[in-house]
A and B are shown apart, each in its own frame.
Chain A
């Protein structure tokens, strides 16, 4: 990959395996299997793949909700995959914040919005109630809510509003990076744009880096500088957003792209879904696949013969 100092977050050969049962019944789920990527400061990195492919697990492992099975992770050059110390937890929680998928589940039903949003400040030692309140109100303004909403409980809000409250909670501690785990998947299409625009505005304003997780490409395509496509616990293609749309290489990426509805009614009518079947599309019995940089900034998981074919396709 490119020179290391370029990245604010770097993940190398990350594995996250869940095991359940014992002895004969032991079941190993390789939720994340040898995943490597880097995120540059102030960019939006989209992580895309179908449900269950390990996107959430990747995000949660980075922020150390799970301990990684193996692999390395660096944030601003600091190792964040090592043993969990107080210091490391502090470092992680101060620098990375997370936005969750489910607008209902992700807010404590028994706390007011002020308590929810202000919690990050209070546990960081801000004792003065008025100061916390002022900061909370300011943050609520920023996400388009009013001061008066601060005394309310989550169940009184709509999905979009709750998601904005989740954003406010994450932003108030001024993190360097946000991991947004499908923040709009549970919302109406009309509200999705609202939330994404809000995230984008905040990103510009605060110079944030965003790891944006989504299960389809249509959400990330307007939004991400670079996109990583994930399939069954593995990254299969990483490229700049426009490269990925213009010339997708991996058959799974093509399949994902073909699933986006088109605004043009005439081509939409003739749009063909491409389906992806790893058994049919790859022959890895002889050659083992690896992650290769096919073109600048464009990585594909492929075998040597596939690489040749991809290079031909790109006209190299």
Chain B
């Protein structure tokens, strides 16, 4: 091909002396040092997380709820089991706010016979704040009257139940934050168990593939198809309704999603050239899994675990709500909601506070995990 190529070439090009050529590429390759500092993966992710305001706010909300759950039950001055039937169903009373007319421990009693108001046995002195409405029914003078429920129950002035009390006279704030503590513990432990089982199961499926994968995947599918509530009830019968059986109940099928995720990630990454490169160097299977493939799953995994936490809290509440909660007198958000809803119309605050808390908690966890997902996404590396 090259043998007769000088046909047609001008003389002066053909006869160029060798000295007129110059090596463009000198032998030594020497690269400059980088001027910037090295940034690791997690540091990089943290930097990006800090750019997202919503994530930061959510993070602080979650943190404050956790701190409150740790502190509040110890400083209210009540315990979560302390009952006092005299103090049943007291409305919220919060120092400071009581002076501006909200959360002042008052309640409107309707349909009272007007003349009974003067009965100091029933309405001790100072317990009646104002008469809201007067009317007549079947010839009897009736009133709706706003009373100070605390005075009515004969409680001293300096006792404050911030979120009110329940049907056994237990302080709801103590119980709510104690319940948050228990709900969070249940959620964390079930999620951690699910992640561990899911990672191991998914890794085995994804890494070895073939028949192993087929068998394990089908087994998981069968498990996933079983009626979840029935299995939960069986667990409860077997182990009693303790925290352990609830955690186990949340783990029966909870890990399957994680296993699927990990399996998919393995299929995606095990054929990558850098994994192959490690294999050609003789890196053993365990190291390939944990050092080369699994780290790619950390982002999705953390995100998933974070999303699973509110999910677990919600499932726990759901179980409690249908009567499969932990043993009384232990509270959890679900138990409180379940107790509260039975008196929803008379004492809405008993449902209100747990409902607000669970909503805030779930929204915060979801927003935070979204932020985390974006921050841990390696495809966004080097942006900003």
Contacts and interface: CB of A to CB of B under 8 A. Distances in A.
B381 A264 contact: no
B175 to A, nearest CB: 45
Interface stretch (B26-34, B85-93, B204-212, B250-258): B26-34
B222 interface: no
A124 interface: yes
B13 to A, nearest CB: 8
A245 B1 contact: yes
Contacts of B122: none
A246 B3 CA distance: 7
Nearest to B274: A108
- Most B CB within 10 A of own CB, among A101, A248, A267: A267
A257 B1 contact: yes
Interface in B1-53: 1-3, 5-10, 13, 24-25, 27-31, 33-34, 36, 38-41
Contacts of A151: 38
Given A100-B273, A197-B27, A65 B287 contact: no
Interface residues of A, number: 56
Interface stretch (A11-19, A141-149, A229-237): A141-149
B156 to A, nearest CB: 62
Contacts, number: 114
Interface residues of B, number: 44
Interface in B259-299: 272-274, 276-284, 287, 291-292, 295-296
Interface in A33-67: 60, 63, 65
Given A100-B273, A105-B272, A198 B29 contact: yes
A265 B283 CA distance: 50
A15 to B, nearest CB: 21
A155 B276 CA distance: 19
- Most B CB within 10 A of own CB, among A143, A248, A257, A266: A266
Given A100-B276, A123-B287, A153 B31 contact: no
A161 B281 contact: no
Given A65-B279, A169-B281, A264-B5, A105 B29 contact: no
Interface in A263-280: 264, 266-267
Interface of A: 60, 63, 65, 89-90, 93-94, 96-98, 100-102, 105-112, 119-120, 123-124, 143-146, 148-149, 151-153, 155-156, 161, 164, 166, 169, 173, 193-194, 197-198, 201, 245-246, 248, 257-258, 260, 262, 264, 266-267
Interface of B: 1-3, 5-10, 13, 24-25, 27-31, 33-34, 36, 38-41, 272-274, 276-284, 287, 291-292, 295-296, 378, 381-382
